[in-house]
Structure 1
Amino acid sequence: MSERPPLPTAVLAAAGLNRQHVFDLAALPDDIVSRLELEPGERQLILVGHGGRRLWECVQAAQLPGPDPIDDYTVATLQRWFAAHAPNQRYRILYPGDSPIGLQALGQLAGWHSPSPFMVGVDPEWGSWYAYRAVVVADTDFCPSEAVHRSSPCSSCPNSPCIAACPAKALAGGQFNLETCSRYRLRPESACAHGCLARQACPIGAEHRYDEAQIHHSYSRSLAVLHRYYR
């Protein structure tokens, strides 16, 4: 029996999608698989993400119209990748999309993050400057990825600067209060409307921090959701 081939990652990484993890569906927990509404022949789930600024640079260079340029760029990149590297394989992109995918659960299984006081997972390399960008199910037979096992960087952070940096005191005692955070962000004078000061105070992976345009883009979207929720 021949060995299963590794996922070809170079093109995805060059396009800014520099984090990938291949799961065999048979090895995933039942509570995750039950949400996927699998079709006959589908054998694998591929989790795709990014860390750092490269993806945003690629998205800006692509100059895509529309309100969701990162999602549109990600989908287009994956479509080209499958056409070039797995042309005979069937696949479905579940996320971006409406399927109820547990991104955080998949990320924890891959070992991509540890919890943080400010509720954005932290990775020892990338800090909090990463995101999950796609979930694909396919009939591929790539070699499954090994989970990353690393200790939480928060456990060795002596001063917890993120807690002190939160102007809303939403992280008091190390426990995140979503209501307090949301209400503060909606204030006209809020310093966190378009960027989380607690997140920006975290020293882990600071060299990978998004530029101001990407931070503003991401937090403007979440702020719009808050306005709809609290109107």
Structure 2
Amino acid sequence: MTFFSRDRLEEVASALAANGLILRSGFSFGDDEMAPAGLSGFPAKSVLLVGQAGAAPWPYFQRWLEGQPRPIANPLDSWSREVIGGVAKEFGARAVSPSDRPYLPFQQWAMRAEGLRPSPLGILMHPQYGLWHAYRGALLFEDEISVPEPYAAIHLCDTCVEKPCLKSCPVDAYSVDGFAHQACLAHVRGPRGEPCRSGGCLDRNACPYGAEYRYPADIQAFHMAAFAGV
């Protein structure tokens, strides 16, 4: 068995940072777990999660997109795969994406690695970034990697009495009963959905936490267009 050194971990983080991405955290799979395959096809020993905080990757993604010779379906996924795939190749890992099929349990991995819990909107609430963060992929290694255990952070949603994230949507798309997907789509695509199309989800923007990491309106519009197909 080989072990991944702390210096090597910092090198991975530095390689990701060159495109505005961050090494979120990770963990080693237990011997009794059904771990996904690593680069060689044998079960991976460890996973490192790759993501973003705020809009840091956006300038890098835009430059890449402007350099493409023709329109690309799901360009952010394609860019993420290319960047994370390059880092994986450099460090002998297998790169995987949240959109890969069969789907891998990215949200469960994230909760385990970072000690996060879902907000009422389903997005994991981060103690620093609030709802303004994302996971863009992961690196699967056939090495043991020692990553610090997540600290027991306060779940901010438990301290939020007013819950503005459940009161700002015109069609009450989010509630304690879950997400009304079709109602949300109909509203966003309809004549009264312009605020959502141009500035993002009103419920998400109503959350008071991590405001300094909030995506700018043009980025939120990009994501909303991808979600609603508009």
Give the alignment partner of residue 11 of structure 1, picking from 7, 12, 15: 15
Name which of 111, 114, 120 aligns with 2:114.
111
Corresponding position of 1:129:
132
**1:197: which partner in 2?**
202
| CA–CA separation in structure 2 for the residues paired with 1:104 and 1:43 | 19
Q: Deviations over 1:19-43 (max 9, x none)?
A: 422321226x74xx36x35622632
2:49 aligned with 1:47: yes
Question: What is the match of residue 60 of structure 1?
Answer: 62
What is the alpha-carbon distance in structure 2 between the residues aligned to residue 125 and residue 41 of structure 1? 33
Displacement of 1:182 in angstroms is 3.6
Shift of 1:14: 3.9
Q: TM-score, with normalisation over the residues of structure 1?
A: 0.79
2:146 aligned partner: 143
TM-score normalised by the chain length of structure 2: 0.80
Specify whether residues 139 and 37 from structure 1 end up closer, same or farther in structure 2 by C-alpha distance, changes over 3 A only.
closer
Higher strand share: 2
User: What is the rounded CA distance, in whole Å, between the counterparts of 2:159 and 2:94 in structure 1?
Assistant: 40
SS at match of 2:102: coil
- Once the two structures are overlaid, the 10-residue window that deviates more, 145-154 or 205-214, is 145-154
Counterparts of 1:157-196 in structure 2 under 5 Å?
Answer: 157-172=160-175, 174-179=176-181, 180-190=183-193, 191-193=195-197, 195-196=200-201
Runs of 5+ unmatched residues, structure 2: none
CA deviations 1:143-189 (Å, max 9, x no partner) are 234224212111111322222211112335x4433244344334332
- 2:223 aligned to which of 218, 223, 226: 218
Query: What are the Cα deviations for residues 35-87 of structure 1, in whole angstroms up to 9, with x where unaligned?
Result: x3562263222211111111112211333532333223323323433454x2x
Query: Structure 1: which amino acid aligns with 2:205?
Result: Q
Q: Which runs of 5+ in 1 are unaligned?
A: none
Q: 1:99-125: CA deviations, max 9, x gaps?
A: 311111111112263222222222111
Write the letter of the residue equivalent to 1:68.
Answer: N
Percent of paired sites with the same residue? 24
Q: CA RMSD in A?
A: 2.8
Letter in 1 for 2:155: S
Count residues in correspondence. Answer: 216
Deviating more after overlay: 5-14 vs 211-220 = 5-14
Describe the SS at the equivalent of 2:96: strand
Instruction: State the shift of 1:134 in Å.
Output: 0.4
Query: What does 1:21-40 correspond to in 2, within 5 Å?
Result: 21-26=25-30, 30=33, 33=34, 36-37=36-37, 39-40=41-42
